[in-house]
């Protein structure tokens, strides 16, 4: 052990084990782990990783759904000085090959249920060490975490060492690996604890994928720092979520707007006792104000927090607190303690209150850049600030309201339209369950405002009716020229709607 005090991810769980000991840290299916057990298991597994020939700095890809084994591999990699590479469990074929090979991962651990996908592309993968996360043969994470290794795990680690390559969601292009250090993530966890009112007494349910930064780094890890008890589901099944919220008396829960909407529309929502749920967190994409108002009406005791940011900053950057919702329900709030934020024009000048500009950041939470992508790194950090790609307005008191992603703004007839503004109006129609507004090619307008709509079960509405509804509430140039109806909207693991896929699909029909 290094005699100089340090603050790495592995040190976090070690100190929590010393503080909380026999308190339950994590519950997954039939297994419960105390803090002492979780730390010891991660320590043993770290030793097995090193004994397998992996060395400090080697990348380790994790390809699986939520489980206690997934958490153990992450903690063990951090303890061993390895770089964890989360891989979206929905990826297949070339997408899987791209992440594993672009990261240069020497090891790949996967769920047995995904073994066939791995075998299909194994000849193309550059990894040399393979294993399963749970229930497999050979190097199985869950099995080896219970067996003493031949080597010690703790090495000469520094807070500045890389601990994770956090691949961006890739909603507009190929994913890029944000290089996260121990130091960046520890600052992230402290920001979360301070800004989101976390407490050791919270009973927390985690259902979104841990291979995405929000669930892992905004919620699970900060709560493990504090000593809370955490329940983990493999996926956000609405019926099971509502049942667990009631049976385990959950007090703290995060979900993106798409999952909150699914919960609101599930028949069990009104049948379950959710009175213990005190803190509700949302983020990953914009929460439509009409949905937010419905949620507040049905759960008036729930304190709501809007969490905004992106993978490259850990990912939490700003928060709108519960007491701020009434006055600014559409706002993303103010920066968290360790983030400095500006809203600027193309010349990097601060915009005036009410004007639209790009959100830029400086923070110790930020990634070092993108793995083996120097040009993209230089572009993202131009001028000494990280360029988020988010467009927002800032008011006199420093609150931001996100308008759109720069790439999602619609240029129709030379006039810029924020897709969110059109979406907010369409969400107020009683037949609309979900909506995404995109640009599609148009010979007259260059880009036509186009709405893609999911209709509520049992409801009916026509294209002409929705266009007429929008015309009564929007300026003429903002009214959708076309409306397409779909059974559901494509999303990534974080719950973000993939507008790129919608543009590809409906742009071809234009």
Give the model confidence (pLDDT) of 130-172 as tens digits. Answer: 999 998 778 999 999 999 998 766 668 999 999 999 998 554 4
Region at 81 (left for phi over 0; alpha for psi -120 to 50; beta for the rest): left
The secondary structure element, H or E, covering residue 282 is strand 279-283
- d(CA 66, CA 208) in angstroms, rounded, equals 8
Check: CB of residue 426 under 8 Å from CB of residue 451: yes
Check: CB of residue 455 under 8 Å from CB of residue 431: yes
Give me the long-range contacts of 259-265 (CB less than 8 A, separation at least 24).
259/207, 259/208, 259/495, 260/287, 260/291, 260/295, 261/291, 261/433, 261/434, 262/236, 262/238, 263/238, 264/291, 264/294, 264/295, 264/298, 265/433, 265/456, 265/457
Residues making up the chain, counted from first to last: 510
pLDDT in tens, 470-488: 999 887 888 999 999 999 9
Strands (E), 141-270: 162-167, 177-181, 203-206, 229-232, 252-254
Structure tokens at 23: 């308190």
Q: Give me the residues paired with residue 387 across strands.
A: 360
Structure tokens at 475: 């300026």
Check: CB of residue 350 under 8 Å from CB of residue 396: no
Check: CB of residue 491 under 8 Å from CB of residue 171: no
Please give the domain boundaries of the chain with CATH numbers for all domains. 9-158 (3.40.50.980), 193-406 (3.40.50.12780), 409-507 (3.30.300.30)
| Closest among 287, 280, 326, 284 to 309, alpha carbons compared | 284
- d(CA 25, CA 27) in angstroms, rounded, equals 7
Show pLDDT as tens, one digit a residue, over the chain (510 residues): 455 778 999 999 999 999 999 999 999 999 999 999 999 999 999 999 999 999 999 999 999 999 999 999 999 999 999 999 999 898 888 889 999 999 999 999 999 999 999 999 999 999 999 999 998 778 999 999 999 998 766 668 999 999 999 998 554 457 899 999 999 999 999 999 999 999 999 999 999 999 989 999 999 999 999 999 999 999 999 999 999 999 999 999 999 888 898 899 999 999 999 999 999 999 866 677 888 888 989 999 999 999 999 999 999 999 999 999 989 988 999 999 999 999 999 999 999 999 989 999 999 999 999 999 999 999 999 999 999 988 899 999 999 998 877 677 787 866 778 788 888 889 999 999 999 999 998 877 778 999 999 999 999 999 999 999 999 988 788 899 999 999 999 987 667 788 888 988 988 776
**What is the chain's Cα-based Rg?**
23
DSSP state of 219: I
Q: How many CB atoms lie within 10 A of CB 101?
A: 15
The pTM assigned to this predicted structure is 0.85
The secondary structure element, H or E, covering residue 424 is helix 419-427
Structure tokens at 182: 């121990």
């Amino acid at each position: 052990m290094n005699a100089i005090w340090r603050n790495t991810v592995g040190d976090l769980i070690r100190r929590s084990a010393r503080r909380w000991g026999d308190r339950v840290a994590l519950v997954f299916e039939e297994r419960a782990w105390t803090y002492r057990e979780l730390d010891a298991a991660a320590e043993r597994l770290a030793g097995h990783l090193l004994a397998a020939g992996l060395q400090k700095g080697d990348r380790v890809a994790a390809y699986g759904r939520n489980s206690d084994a997934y958490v153990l591999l992450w903690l063990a990699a951090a303890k061993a000085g390895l770089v964890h590479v989360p891989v979206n469990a929905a990826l297949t074929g070339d997408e899987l090959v791209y992440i594993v090979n672009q990261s240069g991962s020497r090891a790949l651990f996967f769920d047995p249920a995904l073994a066939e996908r791995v075998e299909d592309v194994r000849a193309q993968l550059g990894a040399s060490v393979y294993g399963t996360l749970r229930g497999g043969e050979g190097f199985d994470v869950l099995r080896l975490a219970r067996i003493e290794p031949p080597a010690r795990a703790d090495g000469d680690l520094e807070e500045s060492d890389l601990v994770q390559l956090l691949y961006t969601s890739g909603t507009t292009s190929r994913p890029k690996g944000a290089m996260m250090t121990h130091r960046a993530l520890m600052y992230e966890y402290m920001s979360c604890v301070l800004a989101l009112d976390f407490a050791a007494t919270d009973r927390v349910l985690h259902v979104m994928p841990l291979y995405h930064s929000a669930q892992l780094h905004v919620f699970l890890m900060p709560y493990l720092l504090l000593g809370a008890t955490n329940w983990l589901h493999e996926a956000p099944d609405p019926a099971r979520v509502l049942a667990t919220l009631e049976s385990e008396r959950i007090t703290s829960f995060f979900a993106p707007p798409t999952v909150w909407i699914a919960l609101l529309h599930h028949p069990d929502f009104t049948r379950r006792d959710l009175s213990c749920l005190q803190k509700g967190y949302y983020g990953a994409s914009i929460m439509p104000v009409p949905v937010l108002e419905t949620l507040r009406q049905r759960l008036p005791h729930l304190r709501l927090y809007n969490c905004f940011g992106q993978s490259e900053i850990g990912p939490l950057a700003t928060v709108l607190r519960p007491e701020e919702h009434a006055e600014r329900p559409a706002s993303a709030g103010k920066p968290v303690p360790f983030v400095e934020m500006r809203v600027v024009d193309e010349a990097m000048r601060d915009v005036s209150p009410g004007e639209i500009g790009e959100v830029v950041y400086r923070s110790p939470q930020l990634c070092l850049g993108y793995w083996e992508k120097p040009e993209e790194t230089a572009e993202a950090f131009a001028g000494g600030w990280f360029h988020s790609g988010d467009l927002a307005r800032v008011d006199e008191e420093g609150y931001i309201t996100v308008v759109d992603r720069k790439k999602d703004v619609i240029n129709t007839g030379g006039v810029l339209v924020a897709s969110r503004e059109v979406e907010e109006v369409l969400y107020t129609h009683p037949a609309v369950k979900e909506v995404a507004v995109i640009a599609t090619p148009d010979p007259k307008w260059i880009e036509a405002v186009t709405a893609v709509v999911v209709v509520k079960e049992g409801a009916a509405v026509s294209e002409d009716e929705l266009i007429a509804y929008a015309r009564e509430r929007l300026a003429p140039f903002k009214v959708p020229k076309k409306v397409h109806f779909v059974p559901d909207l494509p999303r990534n693991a974080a719950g973000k709607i993939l507008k790129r896929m919608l543009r590809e699909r409906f742009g071809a029909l234009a």
